[in-house]
Chains A and B, each alone.
Chain A
């Protein structure tokens, strides 16, 4: 026995000595994520990145390229990586996102393509919730696509794509996986996770509410932090607007399997008239049903961060009447908006459905194409990244979004310093729900506040067309 034990101990000791004598990869290396190059991009654009409006470079110029992945004389192929199977929310992610990209490519191809080549989706991979890193490595290994598009819930492979120097345009709901990765292009930049935004206080003032609770799931640090940040925002402007937070529930059990009846009863006792949440759309429905059951639905208005889903809301009927949603782009209901019209035309022609993910795919594809055009006919991956990161300093997706500055917005801003890496404007596109549909609350899609003056002020209705 002693001999066996000695062998085990000896192995352990040898391993320990080895371990003690080592360091970590990247300790002395330079930042491997910074792969921008000093390649001089073709002079183009008005600084907004809106090169479609004022093309400087002839997008039809053809230059034969060799050794650029995914690029042939006829086509430019991209990869799409997203979630289809095993989606725990049951929402349409990969298919809708893919539709948006393909519809935008259809549009661009109808204009003759880019630099004499047609745009196409070369690879579309389902990460099946937990295979994102494997799929990302597959894209890297195949080396047959120029850029990658991504929309998923669990993006374990973004680091690999970034480190491989592959420009990756994505549904940017995950700050950590995009933060300080300069080849990544989340659709609204890397967002601030702890900034005390003015949207919730503004919604409370619109709803003439005074007393709020905020909700987050206990198992998710993102959801917890979000709930506390919402509460801090209300506190910040409580003196200006006469609003207050009655309570923060940042410990809810995921899925609300036990219901939320005791908490709702407490809201009634506390005189709550507004609920700010950081929950998924299924959780929101559970809460709304409980409010209805306890007779509080008419008294309490809610903010839904993830419920801009026409099918979901239509199924709910009048359950969400009066509640707010905040889409991450100009809402579809702004049917006069030229980009919404363009989107509807081409997504419809492609046979796709109007959905949040479809629009995100459309926007991601737009940034890629405009970045490509800005790069010029002799492009490769680094030069595309370089063009976007240096020239697109007030980029609005042709008015679909508030201005983003890609020279700064690859790093998550903080509440203490919103300007160094954040957008110059804090904007929200608010909608209300009525009878299972969305309604505009303003003629302009965006309500914006300056980031350099955090005192309370009414937002400026804005459009960035």
Chain B
């Protein structure tokens, strides 16, 4: 088949899609490599790649090092050191944990690692300081063997490394005993150790290799970015998920061709569709909306329509059997007296906070308390979908945004009451939640998380820009302003305290509803499904129905919370409040603290809104007698980057306490007293018998 037959445009499009395709392939290979060798869907891959790229940049462009020592430092020293540290401190204890648990920790690391690096290395991105590659004059010397489209030296280096990487890594897994051992350790460390293979050493080596690959990918990709910022690596990583999906997270050639195919597909799409849309106007909306969202549409399509994905199962230790049911909630095993004491303490504590909030707090602290309250409502949606149903949804931000945008639109267009609009928004979110649940029902574990993330990014790239959602041109003049409601004599726009009271009332209502749901048939069904789907089905529980209900209820709560967040801030503030990345924060925070309880969601809301002002800014010291704003220790306010580092540490704690840090802490804190009370009861019961 000659070039003339295929068409020069098509060939050019393929060539033009090759450089971005190679980037996706490198990242896709990284995903597969880490997953095959550790069972982790490593969303921190972008962070690892960024650190090596930034280290290389610093060594080359700030310290003036040569290419070879800079590569040695960034790729062969720093990268494996990070990998080995992560393996030793975190993932070694998680080998048999669920893929979802590992995913949550990886999300935390994706945020924490770049911040920690920037703090330690004192690295700060500067606009326009474009990284150089690993070959001299990499971006300025071009080769054009086809005469159709030239490649730069940097791009050729990317292509060569990706191609050689897929061959060598493939050969390692297929033909070497080490590759077999790596796969074996992921499948079952206990079985491999029975066979005399040192699982710890193999696992460490696997992490070192995958981290070196991440570092190399970062250094190779960096010259494509005009300014070296960690966010761009995260974005590229999200775009490249489609490549990993093509490889079903286990096939290196699949990921390689998935990445290249994605690059080619986008280039061909951008070559032909605009032309066709010029001739056929009905194609115009497809062009407008698909252009910015194509990777996410491709990813969602692969996950939903490719049967191989539905058949894929998470790596699991065959010796571990079915997952044991989660331990009973600490509150359910408490002695009645301890429960009474806890409730009294809780009421007193809340009363104190309430009194301080409603009488002492200034406008900022009232806003912070209101934010904590409203976020708690949203986080209860995660309690339902993740805590009760055991499903990881990364699109709760989109559901919350639906509620917020609905209020904006209904008030703006029809002057509807904001409170009524909030309920309608929540109902619309519930419908959308159910619709999203339908195609992803068959997906489990990490695939469901990826599918919901793809939906969140699709919502972000396409849905929000529709004028009937984000306001379109009218929002250019007035933003997406949302008023607060008026109920009878109470104007919640006039009084911030009144709005806080309203938010607290709504939180109480939603909390009661969530508790009722947990104790009701739906909650019991979800709990049964979470413990054993097969067993649950055998007693007549429909997983599909239960999950659709869970998604719908969860989306309703998120939508309601989103509407209240918009009312609180007076604007939807979509990028700040509801972006996919923000929603990932939410999930990690809630599951790290406690996803199964109402108080876990409330504590997560409080942590999100109040941790920074109270702790990092040093306000807790200002409340003490000696300190005031002017004599705080010099470390305050602590750098914002530490917030991301601490967030990552919180997520890492999830590895040790899958039921949540707070739930674990609650159990441990009350254990002794609980035992004492029960022992005393036993003694009292025994005493009359002895007397008798």
Contact = CB atoms under 8 A, between A and B. Distances in A.
Given A23-B485, A25-B493, A154 B576 contact: yes
Contact of B419 (A18, A140, A263): A18
> Which residue, of A92, A253, A311, has the highest number of chain B Cβ atoms within 10 A?
A253
Contacts of B494: 25
A90 B516 contact: no
Contact of A22 (B128, B294, B487): B487
A179 B478 contact: yes
Interface string B418-430: 1110110000000
A261 B16 contact: yes
Q: Which 10 A-B pairs have the closest CB atoms?
A: A25-B493, A312-B128, A4-B520, A261-B16, A19-B419, A176-B479, A141-B362, A218-B292, A90-B127, A1-B521
Contact of B127 (A89, A259, A261): A89
Given A7-B516, A252-B292, A262-B16, A293 B491 contact: no
A225 B420 CA distance: 32
A57 interface: no
Contacts of A253: 291-294, 461
Given A23-B485, A176-B477, A253-B293, 11 more contacts: A4-B519, A20-B417, A22-B418, A24-B485, A90-B128, A92-B127, A159-B571, A218-B292, A219-B292, A224-B465, A261-B149
Contacts of B232: 255, 257
A251 B287 contact: yes
B240 to A, nearest CB: 10
A175 interface: yes
A265 interface: yes
Nearest to A16: B423
Contacts of B485: 19, 22-25
Interface string B455-472: 000001100110000111
A215 to B, nearest CB: 12
B364 interface: yes
28 contacts: A4-B516, A11-B509, A15-B509, A18-B419, A19-B417, A19-B420, A19-B485, A23-B417, A26-B493, A90-B126, A128-B640, A130-B576, A154-B575, A159-B481, A176-B479, A179-B478, A193-B477, A218-B465, A221-B465, A250-B288, A251-B287, A252-B291, A253-B294, A255-B232, A257-B235, A258-B270, A281-B226, A313-B128
Contacts of B575: 130, 154
A72 interface: no
Contact of A89 (B130, B152, B227, B235): B227
Given A4-B517, A176-B475, A258-B20, A18 B487 contact: yes
A175 B476 CA distance: 7
A217 B368 CA distance: 33
Given A22-B485, A137-B363, A8 B517 contact: yes
Interface residues of A, number: 86
A281 B125 CA distance: 14
Contact of B267 (A16, A18, A225, A262): A262
A212 to B, nearest CB: 16
A234 to B, nearest CB: 18
Interface in A134-173: 134, 137-138, 140-141, 154, 156, 159-160
Contact of B128 (A25, A88, A316): A316
Given A15-B423, A85-B640, A219-B465, A412 B493 contact: no
Contacts of B418: 22, 24-25
A21 interface: yes
A20 B420 contact: yes
B266 A258 contact: yes
A285 interface: yes
Contacts of B225: 282
B641 interface: yes
A22 B484 CA distance: 10
Contacts of A8: 513, 516-517, 520
Given A25-B484, A85-B640, A88-B231, A258 B475 contact: no
Contacts of A160: 570
B150 interface: yes
B139 interface: yes
A257 B20 contact: yes
Interface in A1-55: 1, 4-5, 7-8, 11-12, 14-16, 18-27
A221 B128 contact: no
A26 B485 CA distance: 9
B153 to A, nearest CB: 12
A339 B324 CA distance: 74
A24 to B, nearest CB: 4
A179 to B, nearest CB: 6
Contact of B226 (A11, A194, A285): A285
Given A137-B364, A266-B274, A27 B486 contact: yes
A133 interface: yes
Nearest to A176: B479
B236 A257 contact: yes
**What band does the interface of chain B fall in when counting residues whose beta carbon is under 8 Å from A?**
35 or more
B184 interface: no
A442 B231 CA distance: 40
A444 interface: no
B226 A258 contact: no
B365 interface: yes
A24 B12 CA distance: 57
B13 interface: yes
Nearest to A288: B226
Interface string B256-268: 0000000100110
A1 B520 contact: yes
B487 A21 contact: yes
Contact of A221 (B475, B512, B639, B640): B475
Nearest to A316: B128
B473 interface: yes
B431 to A, nearest CB: 15
Contacts of B235: 255, 257
B545 to A, nearest CB: 14
B127 A282 contact: yes
A361 B287 CA distance: 41
B506 interface: yes
Interface string A111-147: 0000000000000001011100110011011000000
Contacts of B475: 176, 221
A309 interface: yes
A387 B225 CA distance: 47
A289 interface: yes
B130 A315 contact: yes
Contacts of B288: 218, 250-251
A4 B491 CA distance: 33
Nearest to B288: A251
Contacts of B358: none
A134 B573 CA distance: 13
B271 interface: yes
A86 interface: yes
Nearest to B482: A24
Given A24-B411, A176-B476, A311-B126, A140 B363 contact: yes
A176 B149 CA distance: 43
A222 interface: yes
B488 interface: yes
B368 A281 contact: no
Contacts of A27: 415, 483, 486
Contacts of B639: 85
Given A21-B488, A27-B486, A134 B476 contact: no
Contact of B461 (A154, A218, A412): A218
B372 to A, nearest CB: 12
A24 B484 contact: yes
Interface string A239-283: 000000001001111110111011101100000000000000110
Between B20, B239, B291, the greatest number of chain A beta carbons within 10 A of the residue's beta carbon is seen for B291
Contacts of B263: 258
Contact of B473 (A137, A138, A225, A252): A225
Interface string A71-113: 0000000000000011111111000000000000000000000
